[in-house]
Amino acid sequence: MIMSLNLFQIITLAVLGCLLMTTIAAMVRRWVTRREGVVWSLVWLVAGVAIVWPAAIGVVAGLLGIGRGADLLIYCAVVVMMCGFMMVYVRLRHLRRDMTVLVRELAIRDAHTNLEPAASETAKDFSP
Amino acid sequence: MTDEAKEQIRPVPPDVREDLFVVIAAFNEVASIEPVAREVRAMFPNVVVVDDGSTDGTLDVARRSAKYVLRHVINRGQGAALQTGIEFALRHGARFILTFDADGQHRVEDIPAMLEPIWRGECEITLGSRFLGKAVNIPSTRRNLLRLAVLFTKIVNRVKLTDAHNGLRAFSRRAAETIHITMDRMAHASELIDQIRLSGLPFREVPVEIRYTVYSLAKGQSSRGALRIVWQYLLGRVFQ
């Protein structure tokens, strides 16, 4: 099915190609774990297929009982975005907790001690 | 102090007094922190004020009155500040730790009664209760809000208490080492109750008096604030 590609498809494929190369390079240099690299490579490949052959999305949507390919894309985008928000939120919570630990350690390390004795320290026979 | 109040104060053994650390978390409490810290320190030497990133000069005032002053360089919330004070106290050899509010609503005279069951070895934790004791000038909306909080504690935390959200609490060293507040903001009160239940540490409620003043009321929780706390607590439980 060699067909003529429109301008949008050419540009997008070029970008996806660059992303795929970068991902593979990053994987080879161990900047990302093998699993992360494979997952991202698959994402770029699937996107490439969908760009070259848009009808494929419609076929998958039909299998899932969703009318149109565009609807499937929107649903997927929403799910991915929700997961993204969730992951960022969880990370934010961890970050806040780490920040508290750091602030706490600083506070304890730099504690100010008041050497001027209070009444409760000078009175020997103190009884409340 | 009235004569009647004087009679109620129980003696505190000197070694307990020496080994007690009173932790006061303060956020923008410049008007009240000095008298509160001085009043506590007149009776108990080891007063730890944790200034939770105040912007109103609380830090300088606290340094004049408390024995130890710690500063959070960034505001982290009351739960975080209390945990900081507790850790500091533990590292300085505290055998007893008591938390006390900075707004002047607690009475120093209630501290001995809070400590007694712990130093006598009858329990590891005491929680102050204004409904076993006296709540002076408590507005009806505040009373109802606190009743709701008690109900919440009964259902969600599965612990029956008469006053779930009183800042006056005392811990043995063992209890303070076991408990670790991770909910930084106000939901720590509910988290604490969860931890007490899970740890199985014996606790007791002690009647205390709360003085409601214009100042302490302004510093306390509104109904909307209470809802926010419930939300924070539930989020905290989900994302532990």
Contact yes or no for B88 and A96 at CB 8 A = no
CA dihedral angle for residue B78, residue B137, residue B10, residue B65, rounded to 10 degrees: 50
CA distance B22 to B63: 15
Structural domain includes residue B156: no
Contact yes or no for A119 and B50 at CB 8 A = no
CA distance B137 to B228: 25
Mean pLDDT within B82-87: 96
For residue B36, give its domain range. Answer: 3-139+165-179+201-220
Write out pLDDT tens, residues A72-117.
889 999 999 999 999 999 999 999 999 999 999 999 999 999 877 7
Structural domain includes residue B209: yes
* Interface contact B63, partner A, CB < 8 A: yes
Shortest CB distance from B11 goes to which of A103, A107, A127?
A127
CA distance A127 to B141: 39
CA distance A18 to A23: 9
How close is the nearest chain B Cα to the Cα of A104, in Å? 6
How many pairs of residues across A and B have Cβ atoms under 8 Å apart?
A: 80
Write out pLDDT tens, residues B116-147.
999 999 999 999 998 876 677 778 888 888 88
Using the predicted structure, report yes or no on whether residue B2 has a pLDDT greater than 50: no
B47: nearest Cα among B24, B27, B28, B70:
B24
* Count of domains for chain B: 1
pLDDT at B8: 61
Using the predicted structure, report yes or no on whether residue B228 has a pLDDT greater than 90: no
Number of residues that make up chain B: 240
How close is the nearest chain B Cα to the Cα of A81, in Å? 19
Shortest CB distance from A118 goes to which of B50, B67, B182?
B67
* Interface contact B42, partner A, CB < 8 A: yes
* Greatest Cα-to-Cα distance within chain A, rounded to the nearest angstrom: 100
Using the predicted structure, report yes or no on whether residue B109 has a pLDDT greater than 70: yes
In this prediction, residue B91 has a pLDDT band, given cuts at 50, 70 and 90, of very high
User: Within 10 Å of residue A28's Cβ, how many Cβ atoms?
Assistant: 9
pLDDT at B119: 95
* Interface contact A126, partner B, CB < 8 A: yes
CA distance A69 to B12: 77
Radius of gyration of chain A (CA): 29
Paired strand residues for A93: none
Structural domain includes residue B192: no
How close is the nearest chain B Cα to the Cα of A77, in Å? 24
Write out pLDDT tens, residues B11-20.
889 999 999 9
Structural domain includes residue B21: yes
Task: Judge whether B189 and B164 are in contact, CB under 8 Å.
Answer: yes
Using the predicted structure, report yes or no on whether residue A128 has a pLDDT greater than 50: no
Structural domain includes residue B187: no
Provide, rounded to the nearest whole percent, the portion of chain B with pLDDT above 90.
Answer: 56
Mean pLDDT within B29-45: 93
Strands of the sheet with A112-113, listed across from one edge: A112-113, B68-71, B46-51, B20-26, B96-101, B169-172, B125-136, B203-211
* Interface contact B185, partner A, CB < 8 A: no
Average pLDDT, chain B: 87
Q: What is the CATH number of the domain that holds B114?
A: 3.90.550.10
Q: Please report how many Cα atoms fall inside a 13 Å half-sphere around the Cα of residue A53, on the Cβ side.
A: 8
pLDDT at A122: 63
Mean pLDDT within B198-223: 82
Structural domain includes residue B159: no
pLDDT at A125: 47
Write out pLDDT tens, residues A4-30.
889 999 999 999 999 999 999 999 998
Task: Judge whether B50 and B25 are in contact, CB under 8 Å.
Answer: yes
Structural domain includes residue B112: yes
In this prediction, residue B217 has a pLDDT band, given cuts at 50, 70 and 90, of confident
